Amino acid sequence: MATNPNLDLSLYLVSDSTPEILGDKDICQVVEQACKGGVTIVQYRDKHAETSVLIKTATKLHSITKKYNVPLLINDRLDVCLAVGAEGVHIGQDDTPLEAVRSMLPSNAIVGVTASSMEEAEAAIQGGADYLGIGTMFATPTKKDTKSIIGTRGTQEILTRCKTGTKHSVGCVAIGSINAANVQRVIHQSTAGENRLNGVAVVSAIMAAADPQGAASELLQRVKNAPEKFYISTRPGSEVASDKGMFEHIPGIIQKHVSSSVLSHNMTNTVVQNFAANVCLATGASPIMSMNGAEAPDLAQLGGGLVINMGTITPDIMNAYQAGVKAYNAAGNPVLLDPVGGGATSVRRQAIQTLLKAGFYDVIKGNEGEIGAVMGSANIQQRGVDSGPSSSSAQQKVEMVKSLAQKERCLVLMTGATDYLSDGTRTAAISNGSKWLGKITGSGCALGSVVVSYLALHRDDKFVAAMAGILHYELAAERAEQHASCRGPGSFIPAFLDELYLIGQDITSVNVSKLARVEFL
Ligand SMILES: Cc1ncc(COP(=O)(O)OP(=O)(O)O)c(N)n1
Ligand SMILES: Cc1ncsc1CCOP(=O)(O)O
C-alpha cells in the first residue's frame, strides 16, 4: 500500500518535449496516446521553457490526464504545480528541499524524490516522500548530467536496505534507459527477496516511439508480467527439486537431451570453437559457432541457448555479444556468460561491466578469478585466463557463488577441481570430473556450451538443468579416464568425446545418484 492510496507507479511517463526525443510530434498528443496505452502516472519535465510556456503546456496536459484519471506531476517546479493545480511534483536532490515542498503543497499532493543511494533514499522516506525515483539505472542520452549510474545492483541494494518498494508504504520506480527490451530483466534483477520495484519510469521509450500508445501498452504488459519471464530458477508452478531428490529427474533429462538436437549457439573464443562444437554434438546438441551479431535475432528464435565467452574479445566482438544477449533476452531463451580471463586486464574488467549492462544472463560461469572479477573484487589479478592457485576456502567459494547469484538473480557456476553451483537459494558442491579436464584447453568453455543447451531443453528448473549438464559432462570424463587407451591429455580427448556420446546412449542404466559426488550446502 502506498502512502497515497491512489498512487499506481506501474508505468510512469516522464514527458519531454526536446526535439531530439519528441521529433515533430506534439507533446499533448503523445501524452494522450500514452494515457490510452495505459501509463499510470505522468510527469511534465521541461528543463528549458519559460514559466509562461510551462504553465500553458502543463494546463493542457492536465486537462488530458484528468480524462484518464492519471495524476500529473511537475518536475522541479512547485510554482507551476500550484498554478495549474496538478497532483504533485517530482524533485531531485538539488531542487527545493522536500520539507519546503511539503509545507507549500496541499496535504494530499504527491511528492516524488530522486534517490541514487541508500542515504538519499532513507532521507526522502523520513522526509515524507510518496515515492522514490531510483537511478540512474543505465546511462542515457536523455539526462547527461546524471550524478551516478547505479544499475540493478545499486537498485537492489536500496530495495534491500531501505523501506521502499512493493513491501513498503513508500513506493519506487527505476529510471534511466529502460525500455521494452530490458524492463523485465531490470525488474527481476533489482528485486530483493520479496521486495520489488513498484514500476518503471521512462522518457524516450514512449516519447520517441512512433506509436506511443502501442509502446505504453507493451511496456505496461511487460511490467505486469515481469516475474513470469525471468524466474530466478524454477518456473512458477513447477516443483522445486531440492537436494538429492533432483537426481531422480536427471537421467530422464539427459536422455531427452541426447536425442534433442537442441541448439547451442556459441559466441565463443577462437581457441575452443572446434572442441566445443564436437562436445555439443556428442551430447546430442546442435552447435552453431556464429560470432555475427546480425544473425543473432534469427538464431534466438530457434529455441536454443547462447554462450557468450570472452576468451578472445575485440571491440567488434563486444558489439556482437551485446547484440546476442539482447536477441536471446527478447526471445526468452537462455544465455550463459563465461567471462574468460575477466580478472586479467582492465579491458576485460570493463567488458564484464558492458556485458552485464547489456542484458540478463541465466548463468554466469567462470573460475574463481573470473567470478571474483564479475563481483567487482578489485584485488583479483588473474594471470592470463587461468584462475591460479586458490586463495579461498570452500566456505568462501560457497559465499561467493551464493552472493553473486542473489545480486544478479541468476545461476552462478564456479568451476575448479570442485564446482560450485548456486541459484542464490540452493547451493551445491560437485566433485565429479577428471584431472585431465584441467590439462586440456577449452574444457571449461565447452562445459558452458553443454550447460546452456541443457537450460534451453529443460525449462522447469534451471538449477536442475545445469546439474544434469554438469553431471553428463563430468561422469563422461570419469569414464574416459578409465579407458586403457587414456594415457594423458591427448588420448583423453577422443575417449572423452566417445564417453559424452556413450553415456547418453545408456543413461537409464547409469546410477546417477550413486555416482554423483554432490554435496548440498
Ligand atoms: C520519476 C523520476 N525519477 C527521477 C527523476 C530525475 O529527477 P531529477 O533528479 O530532479 O533530475 P531532472 O529530471 O530534474 O533532470 C525524474 N525526473 N523523475
Ligand atoms: C529524468 C531522468 N533521471 C534519471 S535518468 C532520466 C532520463 C530517463 O530517460 P530515458 O527513459 O529516455 O532513458
**Residue 177: its H or E element:** none
Report the separation in Å between the CA atom of 129 and the middle of ligand 2, taken as the mean of its atom positions: 20
Task: Looking at the CA of residue 133, tell me the nearest atom of ligand 1.
Answer: 3
Residues 6+ apart with CB under 8 A from 432: 470, 471, 474, 475, 477, 478, 515, 516, 517, 518
Task: Point out the ligand nearest to the CA of residue 142.
Answer: 2
Give me the residue label for grid cell 534511466.
176
Cβ 329 under 6 angstroms from ligand 1? no
Compute, in angstroms, the gap from residue 23 CA to the centroid of ligand 2.
Answer: 17
Contact 18, 30 (CB under 8 A): no
Q: What average pLDDT does the structure give for the chain?
A: 93
Mean pLDDT of 289-293: 96
> What distances in angstroms separate CA 416 from CA 24, 73, 149, 404, one per listed residue?
57, 54, 34, 17
Q: What pLDDT is attached to residue 385?
A: 59
Q: Write the DSSP string, 232-261.
A: SSB-TTS----GGGGGGTHHHHHHHHHTT-
The answer to whether 35 is a known catalytic residue is no
The CATH code for residues 11-229 is 3.20.20.70
pLDDT at residue number 147: 85
Q: Is 290 in the pocket of ligand 1 (CB under 6 A)?
A: no
- DSSP conformational letter for 75: E
- Chain segment 13-58, per-residue pLDDT in tens: 999 989 999 999 999 999 999 999 999 999 999 999 999 999 999 9
ipTM of the complex: 0.99
Q: What is residue 376's predicted lDDT score, i.e. its pLDDT?
A: 86
Q: Quick one: which H or E segment has residue 445?
A: helix 443-457
**Does 346 score more than 80 pLDDT?**
yes
- Would the pTM count as exceeding 0.95? no
Substitution candidate for ligand 2 out of 175, 177, 182, 204 with most atoms within 8 A of CB: 175
All three cell numbers of 36 = 490510452
CA 8 to ligand 1 centroid distance, Å: 18
What percent of the chain is predicted at pLDDT more than 70?
93
The CATH architecture to which 248-520 belongs is: 3-Layer(aba) Sandwich (3.40)
Q: What is the pLDDT of residue 497?
A: 98
User: Is any atom of ligand 1 closer than 6 Å to the C-beta of 45?
Assistant: yes
Q: What digits encode the pLDDT tens for the residues 461-473?
A: 999 999 999 999 9
Cα–Cα distance, 271 to 280 (Å, whole number): 16
Q: What is the pLDDT of residue 246?
A: 87
Q: Kindly give the distance from the C-alpha atom of residue 352 to the centroid of ligand 2, in angstroms, as a whole number.
A: 24
- Give which of 411, 464, 506 is closest to 253, Cα–Cα: 464
Q: Residue 136 CA: which ligand is closest?
A: 2
Task: For residue 14, give the ligand 2 atom closest to its CA.
Answer: 1
C-alpha span between 201 and 14 (Å, rounded) = 7
CATH 3.40.1190.20 residue ranges in the chain?
248-520
Nearest atom within ligand 1 for CA of residue 201: 1
Which candidate, 401, 349, 399, places its Cα nearest to that of 377?
A: 349
Name the residue with higher pLDDT: 155 or 242.
Answer: 155
Catalytic residue among 35, 410, 445, 486: 445
> Is 88's C-beta closer than 6 angstroms to any atom of ligand 1?
no
Atom of ligand 2 nearest to the CA of 177: 13
Which residue's CA is minimally distant from atom 17 of ligand 1?
A: 75
Nearest bound ligand to CA 46? 1
First to last CA, the chain: 37
State in Å: Cα 166 to ligand 1 middle.
Answer: 21
| Any ligand 1 atom below 6 A from CB of 258 | no
pLDDT of 378 > 70? The answer is: no
Ligand 1 atom closest to Cα of 95? 10
Cell triple for residue 412? 552462478
Distance 91 CA to ligand 2 centre (A): 14
CA 453 – CA 265 distance, rounded (Å): 8
Q: Is the dihedral of CA 51, 56, 61, 63 positive or negative?
A: positive
Mean pLDDT in residue range 284-307 = 97
The alpha carbon of 143 and the centre of ligand 2 are apart by a number of angstroms equal to 6
Relative to the alpha carbon of 124, which ligand is closest?
A: 1
- Dist. CA 17 → ligand 1 center (Å): 15
Q: Which atom of ligand 1 lies nearest, measured to the CA of 12? A: 1
* Residues 99/123, Cβ–Cβ less than 8 Å: no
Average pLDDT over residues 117-128: 97
Length of the chain in residues, anyone? 521
- Residues 433 and 447: beta-carbon distance below 8 Å: no
Q: Hey, which bits of 208-318 come out as E strands?
A: 263-267, 286-288, 305-309
Distance between CA atoms of 488 and 477, rounded to whole angstroms? Answer: 13
* pLDDT on residue 231: 65
69: exposed, middle or buried (Cβ count in 10 Å: 0-12, 13-18, 19+): exposed
Q: Which ligand is nearest to the CA of 140?
A: 2
What residue ranges of the chain are covered by domains with CATH 3.20.20.70? 11-229
240 has pLDDT over 70? no
Supply the pLDDT for residue 2: 41
Q: How confident is the model at residue 421 (pLDDT cuts 50, 70, 90)?
A: very high
Give the mean model confidence (pLDDT) for residues 389-409: 90
Ligand 2 pocket by Cβ (under 6 Å): 14, 135-136, 140, 142-143, 146, 175-178, 202-205
**Residue 370 region by backbone torsions, left for phi larger than 0, else alpha for psi between -120 and 50, else beta:** alpha
Cβ of 77 less than 6 Å from ligand 1: no
pLDDT in tens, 180-228: 999 999 999 999 999 999 999 999 999 999 999 999 999 999 999 876 6
Ligand 1 pocket check for 95: Cβ under 6 Å: yes
Confidence (pLDDT) at 1: 36
- Mutating to test ligand 1, I would choose from 7, 16, 45, 136 the residue with most ligand atoms within 8 A of its C-beta, which is 45
Q: Is the CB of 80 under 6 A from ligand 1?
A: no
Ligand 2 centroid–CA 144 distance in Å is: 9
Mutate to test the pocket of ligand 1, among 16, 43, 114 (most ligand atoms within 8 A of CB): 114
Phi, psi of 487 (to 5 degrees): -120, 0
- Are the C-beta atoms of 134 and 161 separated by less than 8 Å? no
Distance CA 315, CA 504 (A): 39
Residue 235 pLDDT > 80: no
Residue nearest to atom 9 of ligand 1 (CA): 92
- Let me know how many helices (H) and strands (E) the chain has, helices first: 22, 17
| Rg of the chain over all Cα atoms, to the nearest angstrom | 25
Give the pLDDT band (50/70/90) at residue 237. Answer: low
- Write the DSSP string, 361-414: -SEEEE-HHHHHHHHT-TT---BTTB--S--S-HHHHHHHHHHHHHHHTSEEEE
Phi-psi region of 135 (alpha: psi -120 to 50; beta: other; left: phi over 0): left
Residue 27 φ/ψ region, left for φ over 0, alpha for ψ in the -120 to 50 degree band, beta for the rest:
alpha
Residue 180 DSSP symbol: T
